[in-house]
Amino acid sequence: NLVNLDVLNIKGTLINGSIPDSIGMLSNLKNLHMESNQLAGNIPSSLGNITGLLHIYLQDNSLEGTIPSSLGNCTSLQTLDISQNKLGGSIPKQVVALSSLSVLLNMSYNSLSGPLPVEIGNLTNLAALDISNNKLSGEIPHTLDSCSSLEVLFMKGNLFEGTIPPLNNLKNILHLDLSCNNLSGNIPNSIAQHFSLQNLNLSFNHLDGEVPVQGVFADASRVQIMGNINLCGGIKELHLHPCLKKANKRPKKHIALIIALTFGAIAACLTLLLLLLFCCKQKVKQRPSSTSSVGEGYTSFL
- Are residues 263 and 215 located together in one domain of the fold? no
- Are residues 221 and 275 located together in one domain of the fold? no
Domain boundary among 244, 260, 292: 244
- Are residues 26 and 110 located together in one domain of the fold? yes
- Do the domain assignments include residue 125? yes
- Are residues 116 and 258 located together in one domain of the fold? no
- Do the domain assignments include residue 101? yes
Q: What CATH number has the domain bearing residue 46?
A: 3.80.10.10
**Regions of the chain where pLDDT drops below 50:** 247-249, 284, 287-302
- Do the domain assignments include residue 208? yes
Domain of 31 in residue numbering reads as: 7-244
Domain boundary among 244, 262, 280: 244
Edge-to-edge strand ranges of the sheet holding 128-130 = 7-9, 31-33, 55-57, 79-81, 104-106, 128-130, 152-154, 175-177, 199-201, 223-224
Average of per-residue pLDDT values in the chain: 88
- Are residues 49 and 38 located together in one domain of the fold? yes
Q: Which residues have CB under 8 Å from 79's CB, separation 6+?
A: 54, 55, 56, 57, 101, 103, 104, 105
Q: How far is CA 20 from the centre of its chain?
A: 41
- Are residues 65 and 214 located together in one domain of the fold? yes
- Are residues 207 and 272 located together in one domain of the fold? no
- Do the domain assignments include residue 2? no
- Are residues 175 and 272 located together in one domain of the fold? no
Beta pairing, strands 55-57 & 135-139? unpaired
- Do the domain assignments include residue 153? yes
- Are residues 229 and 283 located together in one domain of the fold? no
Please give the tally of structural domains in the chain: 2
- Are residues 297 and 192 located together in one domain of the fold? no
- Do the domain assignments include residue 286? yes
Edge-to-edge strand ranges of the sheet holding 62-64 = 16-18, 38-42, 62-64
CA-nearest of 30, 32, 73 to 52 is 30
- Are residues 61 and 120 located together in one domain of the fold? yes
The string of pLDDT tens digits covering residues 89-110 is: 999 999 999 999 999 999 999 9
What one-letter code names the amino acid at 302? L
Predicted confidence at residue 3, as pLDDT, reads 80
- Are residues 249 and 219 located together in one domain of the fold? no
- Do the domain assignments include residue 229? yes
Predicted confidence at residue 244, as pLDDT, reads 87
Domain boundary among 205, 221, 244: 244
Predicted confidence at residue 294, as pLDDT, reads 27
- Do the domain assignments include residue 1? no
Instruction: Report the half-sphere exposure of 36 (CA within 13 A, side-chain side).
Output: 6
